[in-house]
């Protein structure tokens, strides 16, 4: 068995909210791992911070495939695996869905057949939690959380953390679409979005959702520059006038 030295993402989020660079790096690795699983027809069905391990060297591992389902026929999005609710569960627990409630997709909460896109919704919940330090869907009971997932939009991540880049806000919203046909369709697509965000962040081209971007700040400064030039001109003219008075004296 592989020995892993590090902590789960859950403990990492609780101890200290990740920096944007860390969110991008961890996100890319999670998306890459999901792409590898989905390409083999494996749907994890329980993606959450407690099942994501970050080693001391920064390597990300997805753990606990105990609830995973394998579709041997095809691995593409839109190909159904077995229903979340099995017939044996319906005998004693009608409407039970397998997984962790706060991280379930709407189709998972409804007990519908699942495909790879359910993992992408759960991953979106993880991204939201990394970016804000809180879960997008919460409540005192499972019933309340199910209602939040099925009927309500979570607060925008940027309202919780105004320092978030607009691009990350867009990625999170795309993964949390309740209609899976409107959701991010593949882990590879999500990985590409996060890689572009990481590149732009490292090059300093990312603007925050709230607050001014470096470009807007430059525009604001340039608007004030004519007044500054006028003030300098007045000082120069006054100096010339005084110099003229002095030289004109006998």
Residues involved in catalysis: 46
Q: Cα 223 vs. chain centroid, distance in angstroms?
A: 35
What beta strand segments (E) does the chain contain?
6-8, 42-43, 52-55, 60-62, 69-70
Q: Cα 141 vs. chain centroid, distance in angstroms?
A: 25
CB atoms within 10 A of CB 211: 10
The closest of 195, 101, 189 to 149, measured between CA atoms, is: 101
Residue 192 host element (H or E): helix 187-202
44 SS3 class: coil
Distance CA 112, CA 217 (A): 49
> Which structure tokens are listed for 174?
């795309």
How does strand 52-55 pair with strand 6-8? antiparallel
């Amino acid at each position: 068995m592989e020995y892993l030295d590090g902590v789960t993402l859950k403990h990492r989020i609780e101890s200290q909210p990740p920096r944007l660079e860390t969110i991008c790096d961890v996100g890319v690795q999670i998306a890459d791992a999901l792409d590898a699983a989905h390409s083999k027809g494996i749907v994890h069905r329980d993606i959450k911070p407690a099942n994501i391990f970050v080693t001391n060297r920064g390597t990300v591992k997805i753990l606990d495939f105990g609830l995973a389902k394998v579709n041997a026929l095809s691995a593409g999005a839109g190909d159904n695996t077995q229903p979340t609710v099995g017939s044996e569960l319906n005998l004693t627990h009608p409407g039970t869905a397998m997984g962790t409630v706060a991280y379930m997709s709407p189709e998972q909460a409804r007990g519908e057949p699942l495909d790879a896109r359910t993992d992408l919704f759960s991953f979106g919940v993880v991204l939201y939690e990394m970016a804000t330090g809180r879960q997008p869907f919460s409540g005192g009971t499972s019933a309340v959380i199910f209602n939040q997932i099925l009927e309500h939009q979570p607060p925008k991540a940027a309202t919780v953390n105004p320092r978030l880049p607009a691009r990350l806000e867009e990625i999170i919203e795309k993964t949390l679409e309740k209609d899976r046909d409107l959701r991010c369709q593949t882990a590879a697509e999500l990985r590409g979005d996060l890689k572009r965000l990481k590149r732009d962040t490292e090059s300093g081209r990312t603007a925050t959702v709230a607050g001014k971007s470096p470009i807007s700040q430059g525009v604001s400064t340039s608007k004030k520059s004519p007044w500054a030039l006028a003030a300098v001109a007045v000082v120069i003219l006054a100096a010339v006038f005084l110099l003229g008075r002095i030289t004109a004296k006998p």
